[in-house]
């Protein structure tokens, strides 16, 4: 099967002499969509295998069983692992760490020309971070059901979002303050801001 995303890849495999297509004589020459797709998917699998190796190494080092990569135009820009317990940081998930590292390396908060590869389906927090970072595409291997069997059950967070604020396990209580909208007015009026 020829994957649509393979045709949309920004890097040119012809420069790497890896593209072929069959000619009438049965030989292979540059340009086959099938080979392009195969090579492209093989690269994706290698990124995911790297993310899984990171997760395995992280467990051995005392961290959580998650790893992630940010890739731009076929090049690994940054990696991340779950460092929640070692850093005493509940937000230090592998995807968030990879996004932070990629943004620092590239000098931007906009990763719209990057893809993220994760050893596991992202949790709700990482899901949101991926959208804020404008990641173009996400690939993962293990599912959130697999994570739940290992004790990482995020399904309750999705159910919490759908509840009324006062019914959540962590109560969300709005206290109306007269100047609560002032920061937004200041932001709207500021001419030299950097929109994101």
Cite the active site residues: 95
The 3-class SS string of the chain reads: CCCHHHHCCCCCHHHHCCCCEECCCCCEECCCHHHHHHHHHHHHHHHHHHHHHHHHHHHHCCCCCCEEEEEECCEEEEEEECCHHHHCCCCCCHHHHHHHHHHHHHCCCCCCCCEEEEEECCCHHHHHHHHHCCCCEEEEEECHHHHHHCCCCCHHHHHHHHCCHHHCCCCCCCCCCCCCCHHHHHHHHCCCCCCC
What's phi and psi for 139, nearest 5 deg? -115, 140
Please name which of 17, 155, 153, 16 lies closest in space to residue 73, comparing C-alpha atoms: 16
């Amino acid at each position: 099967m020829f994957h649509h995303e393979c045709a949309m890849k920004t890097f040119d495999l012809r420069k790497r002499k890896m593209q072929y297509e069959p000619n009438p004589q049965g030989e292979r020459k540059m340009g086959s969509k099938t080979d392009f797709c195969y090579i492209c998917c093989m690269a994706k699998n290698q990124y995911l295998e790297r993310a899984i190796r990171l997760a395995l190494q992280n467990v051995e080092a005392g961290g959580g069983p998650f790893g992630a990569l940010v890739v731009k135009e076929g090049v690994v820009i940054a990696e991340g692992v779950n460092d929640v317990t070692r850093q005493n940081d509940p937000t230090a998930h592998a995807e968030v760490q990879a996004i932070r590292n990629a943004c620092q390396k590239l000098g931007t908060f906009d990763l719209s020309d990057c893809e993220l590869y994760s050893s596991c389906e992202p949790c709700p927090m990482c899901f949101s971070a991926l959208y804020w970072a404008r990641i173009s595409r996400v690939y993962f291997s293990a599912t959130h059901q697999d994570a739940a069997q290992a004790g990482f059950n995020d399904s309750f967070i999705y159910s919490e979002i759908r509840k009324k604020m006062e019914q959540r396990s962590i109560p969300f209580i709005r206290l109306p303050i007269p100047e609560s909208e002032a920061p937004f007015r200041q932001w709207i009026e500021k001419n030299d801001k950097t929109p994101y």
